[in-house]
Amino acid sequence: MIPAIRLAALTVCCIGVAACLGETAPRRVLAGTTFSFPFSTAMLAGALPVAYGAVPASNAGTVLTPDLQRGNARFVLCTNPEPNCGTQRSLSFRYISRVSPDRGSRIGRSAVLDTPTGPMDQALTGQDVVVLDVPASTPSGTYQLTYVLRRPGATTDQRLTLQPITVVTSSTSAFTNITRAINFAGFNLTSTLQGLVPDPQLSLSLVDLGSATNLTDRPASGTLVLRHPPTVRIEGAFEAGVLGQGSLVRVSPGPVANTVSILFLDPDRKTAKLRVAFTLLPSATAPALASEFSIESQRLYGTDGSELPITTNPAAVGNSFRIDPSIL
């Protein structure tokens, strides 16, 4: 369990609720304290991808490590919105992870697809949660909370204004260092928290004529051979957006080098996406691209064991898995 962190203001944690879409951080925080907030750029104009890495040199005490695949992040307070930040004050970027519904929850048991149909479905795709420190030396005032992204291989930053945030000061030192907090009682939880950061994931989407209520055209089982770049190690595969149901996904070494075999079994026929988690090998010098993965072969079956036709045309009858163009 992540230890309690002293909050300077009420943290908004109503994940996926429409009323919360306009507020992603406390409007007021106390200088010298730690706060967390559900973070998403998807609801903002000019959205940037979410980065799961941090450079320790510019984020002292962070639990995170640099991320070659998805990039590195910082959070700063600006006196003006982007593109004219004005005076910039750095926040300590301690931690980021993704929260998803529990398989035993009402949403988890419903086996809803991970294609959101409205604001209430936001939690189905996972909600990123960020933990930041506000230095005790931060003067009181209203700032623009700004997300700073350094993409893999880039030499310049991209910046995105999130929202105004007011910092208030205290006459006493209230600074809470999360690095000390997670090393409580003689136990160092840094590696445990690092293990909760999601690995990069390739998404395989089913070309599907069905819907959440009409599943008769979907496969009940299947096998796929996925080719991956030699700089990648496949860590596992699982169904996406389908929780709390009787499906099974297995991944094993493929028939030739740089391939894996994926087997899935889903008698309920609710699986419309598979995700393949991977990490970069130490020899990697660049992030993996979705175009470097390919589905070498696939065979899909109905509930009666009959083989289904394969097609990549969404307007045609039949099914097949195809690689989504982006990596999560």
Tell me, yes or no, whether 274 and 175 share the same domain: no
* Domain identity same for 81 and 162: yes
Q: Give the residue from 166, 194, 222 where a domain finishes.
A: 194
* pLDDT of 118 strictly over 50: no
Domain that holds residue 49: 18-194
Joined together, the tokens standing for residue 259 give: 């391939």
Residue 256 shares a structural domain with residue 298? yes
- Closest listed residue to residue 132, CA positions, set 150, 151, 148: 148
Eight-state DSSP code of residue 29: E
Please indicate, yes or no, whether residues 218 and 299 belong to a single structural domain of this protein: yes
Say how many domains are in the chain.
2
Q: Is residue 164 part of a domain?
A: yes
User: Same domain for 184 and 52?
Assistant: yes
pLDDT computed for residue 319 by the predictor: 81
DSSP code string of 186-252: G---HHHHHTTSPPPEEEEEEE-S--SS--TTS-SEEEEEEE--TTEEEEEEEESS--SSS-EEEEE
Q: What percent of the chain has pLDDT over 90?
A: 47
Domain ends where: 151, 177, 194? 194
- CA-to-CA distance for 254 and 252, rounded, in angstroms? 6
Residue where a domain stops, chosen among 158, 177, 194 = 194
pTM of the model: 0.77
Specify whether 32 is located in the same domain as 175: yes
pLDDT digits 0-9 by tens, 207-222: 876 655 566 778 999 9
What confidence tier does 224 reach under pLDDT thresholds 50, 70, 90? Answer: very high
pLDDT band at 184 (very low <50, low <70, confident <90, very high): low
Beta strands 92-99 and 88-90: pairing type? unpaired
Q: Is 11 within the bounds of a domain?
A: no
Using alpha carbons only, what angle is made at residue 14 by residues 8 and 15, rounded to the nearest 5 degrees? 120
CATH number of 215's domain? 2.60.40
Whether 210 and 189 map to the same domain: the answer is no
In a domain, 117, yes or no: yes
Q: What pLDDT was estimated at residue 171?
A: 62
Q: Compute the distance between CA of residue 40 and CA of residue 124 in angstroms, rounded to an integer.
A: 13
Local structure of 193: helix, strand or coil: helix
Task: Specify the pLDDT at position 268.
Answer: 85
Rounded average pLDDT over 265-278 = 89
For 50, which DSSP code? Answer: P
Give tens-digit pLDDT for 295-314.
999 999 999 999 988 877 76
| Average confidence (pLDDT) over 93-117 | 67
CB 153 within 8 A of CB 49: no
Q: Which residue has the higher pLDDT, 93 or 111?
A: 93
Within-domain flag for 6: no
Query: 254 and 165 in one domain?
Result: no
